[in-house]
């Protein structure tokens, strides 16, 4: 990215309210305007967004697989998360991890130190999203207002789905987790459907 573009992106991020993030997250967030959100109104599913999600997924996978290589006895790729900066959503994050761990076999989420990605919370007019700095570090931002408006476990499980490699599909039904806010606020399903489960298992299959 050119320096001028980076400056513009940072300016956008600050104007959009990213300054409420902890300093560590703000410093790692120049690509945030292209992040993957929960609703189509704020994140239109552009090519830039798709590319950003892909970069995030690859960064998380590279970090997780590096750990696995250091411990060949592991049959499953373990992705470690840090929820300490999103205390309001501790239960939702835990439930989202349990949902995904019960849904797929080839990758499992664990809370722990030296995390592959972090959760943050705050106020952002664009809602919740997943983002990356493109250098092996990513984070999920959970917006207070959106998590009151929509089912909070579904929002959290949806954003966690981006970590596992799934893109947005806002036109999908409520039974699809990655349709996000598309089916409206009455949709409370926090579970990925069979297609989404298969896709994550394929993405994380060994070899
Ligand atoms: Zn999304």
121 is a catalytic site residue: no
Q: Ligand 1 center to residue 150 CA distance, Å?
A: 13
In tens, the pLDDT along 103-150 reads: 999 999 999 988 999 999 999 988 999 985 434 358 999 999 999 999
- Which two structure tokens, joined as six digits, stand for 118? 């972090």
In tens, the pLDDT along 61-84 reads: 888 878 777 776 666 888 999 999
Exposed e or buried b for every residue in 42-62, given b needs 16+ CB within 10 A?
bbebeeebeebbebbbebbbe
- 117 bridge partner residues: 81, 138
- Which two structure tokens, joined as six digits, stand for 46? 């552009």
Give me the residue label for tokens 């499953």: 76
Q: Ligand 1 center to residue 205 CA distance, Å?
A: 23
pLDDT of residue 128: 94
HSE of 170, CA atoms in CB hemisphere, 13 A? 15
Q: Ligand 1 center to residue 31 CA distance, Å?
A: 15
Q: Ligand 1 center to residue 158 CA distance, Å?
A: 6
Catalytic option among 49, 159, 176, 196: 159
In tens, the pLDDT along 160-174 reads: 999 898 989 999 999
Q: Could you give phi then psi for residue 106, rounded to 5 degrees? A: -85, -10
Look at the pTM and tell me if it is higher than 0.85: no
């Amino acid at each position: 990215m050119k320096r001028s573009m980076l400056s513009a992106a940072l300016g956008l991020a600050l104007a959009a309210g990213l300054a409420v993030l902890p300093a560590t997250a703000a410093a790692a967030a120049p690509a945030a305007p292209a992040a993957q959100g929960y609703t189509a109104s704020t994140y239109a599913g552009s090519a830039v967004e798709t590319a950003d999600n892909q970069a995030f997924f690859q960064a998380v996978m590279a970090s997780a697989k590096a750990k696995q290589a250091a411990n060949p006895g592991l049959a499953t790729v373990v992705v470690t998360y840090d929820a300490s900066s999103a205390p309001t959503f501790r239960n939702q994050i835990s439930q989202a991890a349990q949902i995904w761990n019960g849904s797929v076999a080839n990758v499992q989420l664990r809370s722990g130190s030296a995390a592959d990605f972090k959760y943050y919370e705050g106020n952002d007019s664009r809602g919740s999203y997943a983002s990356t700095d493109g250098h092996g570090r990513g984070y999920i931002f959970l917006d207070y207002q959106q998590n009151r408006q929509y089912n909070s476990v579904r929002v959290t499980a949806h954003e966690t789905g981006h970590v596992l490699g799934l893109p947005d599909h806002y036109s999908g039904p409520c039974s699809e987790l990655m349709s996000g806010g598309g089916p409206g606020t009455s949709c409370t399903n926090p579970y990925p459907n069979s297609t989404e489960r298969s896709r994550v298992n394929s993405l994380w299959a060994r070899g």
